[in-house]
Amino acid sequence: MIEEIKIRRSIRKYLNRPVEDEKIIQLVESARLAPSGSNTQPWHFIIVKSELIKQKLAKVSHNQQWMISAPVFIVCVADIRCRIAKNVDILIKEDSPQEELKQIIRDTSISISYMLLEANSLGLGTCWVGWFIQEEIRPILNIPSDKYVVGIITLGYANEAPETRPRKKLEEIVHYESW
Amino acid sequence: MIEEIKIRRSIRKYLNRPVEDEKIIQLVESARLAPSGSNTQPWHFIIVKSELIKQKLAKVSHNQQWMISAPVFIVCVADIRCRIAKNVDILIKEDSPQEELKQIIRDTSISISYMLLEANSLGLGTCWVGWFIQEEIRPILNIPSDKYVVGIITLGYANEAPETRPRKKLEEIVHYESW
């Protein structure tokens, strides 16, 4: 398992080669099986192949043009309605304070993590893009204002083999019995 | 990879058998290698074996006594200082609004996900406990008020084999080209 983790890289250059639909479904299937707080499963996944929509998404992601080379985007959305009743009005923004928002971001992040490792084991490259504003991204995909886009995953066959990026040393992040 | 995901369960009953230190280190190592936004690596891990501290942590976790049977807790902490300067005063609570808090919860959740899958592949059981209040848990471990505890992972050899919990159907969570 740790070998899969070690070889995973964020990929920002993709081959001009489509991704098989059955592989895309297997990715979402691995995300579907993830654990979540009280088994609430707040996650939704929007599969995007349209060039026009991909361009719009790249544009609101600070115009990261490298994204376009990925044949597929998977837009990962967290739904707060698994924790807050439908009759309560909510407009979610980057600085919204709700604890429930933190919980659904946590849980959707677990499912995306699973998806990325699964992609790796299927020979696919991914990059988790998180640099956008909710109010710019939601209209492109008709996402309601009570949802939160946790990430856009670019997906395809890698056309680069990046080096490992540095990590903190183990002793910088491990504590025993107390902070 | 999806097989590892399929067989993972949350474990709430543990054998009275210690966990090898080298396995604990391998878990943190797998978390250390996780990706994070701008490679900020906001994660810290506090390894707890002390019975007294475990009891205190279970107590603030709504007195979930089952937790005590796990020989090890790994308390997973997100540090906002990778994104906000040290001279800015911050007291983080459940309803804090900062966007940076959402980013470090996201990134620390990725690293915890990796750790849980790695535990599974090492034959260890885990459960991600998230039901506690920051201001009650931080004093137990001397965690500063600008950190956020994302989860307590209970860790040990499983003494139960729970059934799969139900998941939403694929068609309930997958969308094509738009919400």
Q: What is the pLDDT of residues B133-179, one digit of tens each?
A: 999 999 999 999 999 999 999 999 999 999 989 999 999 999 999 99
Q: What is the pLDDT of residues B43-89, one digit of tens each?
A: 999 999 999 999 999 999 999 999 999 999 999 999 999 999 999 99
Mean pLDDT of chain B: 97
Nearest to B102 among A1, A102, A114 (CB): A102
**Burial classification of residue A156, based on how many CB atoms lie within 10 Å of its CB (0-12 exposed, 13-18 middle, 19 or more buried):** buried
Strands B125-129, B147-156: pairing is antiparallel
Residue B1: per-residue pLDDT? 82
Residue of A nearest to B6 (CA): A33
Asked if A6 and A142 touch (Cβ cutoff 8 Å), the reply is no
Residue of A nearest to B141 (CA): A178
Would you tell me which residues 92-131 of chain A have a C-beta closer than 8 angstroms to some C-beta of chain B? 94-99, 101-103, 105-107, 109-110, 112-114, 116-118, 120-122, 128, 130-131
Nearest to A174 among B45, B50, B99 (CB): B45
| Maximal CA-CA distance, chain A | 53
Residues of B in contact with A4 (CB under 8 A): 1
Site from A45, A74, A95, A106 to mutate, B interface, most B CB atoms within 10 angstroms: A106
Average pLDDT over residues B95-118: 97
pLDDT at residue B4 is higher than 90 = no
pLDDT at residue B115 is higher than 90 = yes
Tell me the shortest Cα–Cα distance from A106 to chain B, in angstroms: 6
- Tens digit of pLDDT at every position of chain A (179 positions): 888 898 899 999 999 999 999 999 999 999 999 999 999 999 999 999 999 999 999 999 999 999 999 999 999 999 999 999 999 999 999 999 999 999 999 999 999 999 999 999 999 999 999 999 999 999 999 999 999 999 999 999 999 999 989 999 999 999 999 99
Q: Which pTM value belongs to this model?
A: 0.97
- ipTM exceeding 0.90, yes/no: yes
Distance of CA B52 to the CA centre of its chain: 20
Q: What is the pLDDT of residues B85-94, one digit of tens each?
A: 999 999 999 9
Residue A78: per-residue pLDDT? 98
Domain boundaries in chain B?
A: 2-162
A163 touches chain B (CB under 8 A): no
Nearest to B32 among A77, A97, A173 (CB): A173
Q: What is the pLDDT of residues A127-161, one digit of tens each?
A: 999 999 999 999 999 999 999 999 999 999 999 99
CB pairs under 8 A between A and B: 200
**Burial classification of residue A17, based on how many CB atoms lie within 10 Å of its CB (0-12 exposed, 13-18 middle, 19 or more buried):** exposed
Q: What is the dihedral of CA A65, A69, A71, A74, to 10 degrees?
A: -40
Residue B12: per-residue pLDDT? 97
Place of tokens 């739904």: A79
**Burial classification of residue A49, based on how many CB atoms lie within 10 Å of its CB (0-12 exposed, 13-18 middle, 19 or more buried):** middle
Tell me the shortest Cα–Cα distance from A59 to chain B, in angstroms: 16
CB contact under 8 A, A114 and B114: no
CB contact under 8 A, A95 and B98: yes
Which phi and psi angles does B125 have, rounded to 5°?
Answer: -100, 150
Tell me the shortest Cα–Cα distance from A109 to chain B, in angstroms: 6
Q: Domain A2-173 class?
A: alpha beta
**Burial classification of residue A72, based on how many CB atoms lie within 10 Å of its CB (0-12 exposed, 13-18 middle, 19 or more buried):** buried
Q: Of the candidates A119, A11, A136, which has an alpha carbon nearest to the alpha carbon of residue A66?
A: A11
CATH number of B2-162, picked from 3.30.360.10, 3.30.420.40, 3.40.109.10, 3.30.70.141: 3.40.109.10
Q: Of the candidates A165, A166, A70, which has an alpha carbon nearest to the alpha carbon of residue A126?
A: A70
